[in-house]
Amino acid sequence: MCCTPSSLCGLLSTHIQNTHTSPFPATNTALALICLVVPAQYYFGFKIIKNKMRNSPNVNERFSIVQEFLPAMKLIKYYAWEQFFEKEINEVCGL
């Protein structure tokens, strides 16, 4: 579950308005959650961004291969050349 400081403060203010009292235990709990969740969100967000940046060349290469492969596969399917290419591939692979 992902909590943001603004959502926790909103829940606290709603609780205070409904009960007309200041819930000190709830306030301490909310502050503890903020102190734990916000740094964890930054840490994991940084890790995710770091991994995405490290893998971006691989993603670009895979995307370009797929972009070349899909139209060729559609063409083969459109003209019903599957059996011909299957024989050619089997001959090349030695199957």
Write out the chain's pLDDT in tens, 95 residues: 455 666 666 766 676 666 655 555 666 677 777 778 888 888 999 999 999 888 888 888 888 888 988 888 888 888 888 888 888 888 888 77
pTM of full prediction above 0.85: no
pLDDT of residue 23: 54
Euclidean distance between CA atoms 84 and 87, whole angstroms: 5
Sheet strands (E) in 1-95: none
Euclidean distance between CA atoms 9 and 31, whole angstroms: 9
Domain boundaries, the chain: 5-93
